[in-house]
Chain A
Amino acid sequence: MAGRERRTRSRRSVREAGLAALFLLPSALVFGAFFFYPIGRIVYLGFFQQNQTRTRQRYVGIEQYADVLTGDDFVEGLTITLKYVLLTVPAGLVLGVLLAVAANRRLRGIKIFHTIFASTVATSVAVASIVWLVLINPTVGYFEVDWLRDTRMALFGVSLSSIWQNLGLTFIVVLAGLQAIPEELNEAAIVDGMGPVRKFFTVTLPMLSPTLLFLVVVLTVFAFQAFAQIDILTEGGPAGSTETLVFKIFKRQQGGALGEGSVMAVGLFAITFVAALGQFLLLERRVHYGSGRR
């Protein structure tokens, strides 16, 4: 009796595992071919140097890693990428909170304002870049500024396009966060005699912190991936002042220095891995806290 039950259970679990394998197969194939295999591949390619036409390659060893990862190009690309994070993330966050706080109230027609504030999610990076290319051009632009022509200002000029384009997303997410704050908390604050500013800092902001943390992560990832805006607005110039790590990798992918580009990509991977691990730990804590609350 007991034996037969165990056998059916085990037969069932084999069937279940088979079904699981079937269900997981499509995703696993894609992830294997385009996520895990390429990691191995770039690590491998990092040991090689290609010829001019990329029809042959030869082993150059770990030296290439040492040279590239400590070289000026990689360090410069990383610095510019981090600068780009600093330019886009805090500004995007502050503006998103500003818009969401302003629009989070019961007014007739507020939905129209919500749609307007969210509207920049409808623009792609390419569209946003063209918009800003024109706005900040000194000859044909609305703001006659030389930002894209100054090695010190070019990255800032590029970041305007990103900040504006991210506005819709940050607004939507912060607004949702605000609306999730229990009404009793707001009422309690008013009963306690808090003014709007104090209420914002003692009630709203702490309640919003998981949302803001999420946004910091997302916007940072966006900033790390920034490519189209640079490709369209400055092509990395002037004098390489807007060449982020991703842009440098792309240039090498196109130009033929695959080995060097691969080492840079491995470097980028290491950095995103560490960042993502940190993010995962933070989110894990938050999710746990959240499910406990509900």
Chain B
Amino acid sequence: MSCIYSCENLRFSYVLGSVPVEALKGVDLKLDRGALVALSGPSGSGKSTLLNLLGLIENPQEGTLELFGQNVATLSETQKNQIRRHKIGFIFQSFHLFNVMSAEENIEYFLHKQGIPLKERTQRVADALNAVGLWEHRSKRPLQMSGGQRQRVAIARAIAKQSEILIADEPTASLDQHTGRDIMELLAKLNSDHKTTVVVSSHDPMVLSFIPTVIRLVDGSLTNASPV
């Protein structure tokens, strides 16, 4: 399998209040296409920072991050926008859906922005909603849905986008165990059916039980940084 992500000596720090925080202290990591990987570790270990870097929503400060063999530091803002629009899907702990749109509009919006024609959009939305079992709820808006349903809308959005990569930041943290398990089953299915590279951050044992490769982060460093 070809390499999708390659990190070398990746470092990142930020200031919290007036205190400088070294979030990543030289991370080396390679991820192959189609991998299902978990970033695990205690709070403050750098999981979210690494996810943000992998999702191109933060820029590396030191070291090298390559995506599809291209150094991210050389990409323009427009190129990164295009990669996020077409190649990467996001699932967040607090869902981040548009409350003014229905479930199907939430999914369709980004397909529209990808420039996909109406007929294909409609089909992809229907397929994605069926895949996550929400077809009956397609007209509901997020605030009319449960947490699990909202997270499934987010997954359906990633399915419909046909993203090559899915970044999931604590996707089950706001859900009960049963619903969380359903979500993880969906993510695992997305990985196996569509060969989508899925990177999940979590320290929940239930979540980690679905993931074949768990990478542990402690204080900004990998403790088992092995290629997958």
- Is the pairing of A and B real? no
Residues of A within 8 A of B (CB): none
Residues of B within 8 A of A (CB): none
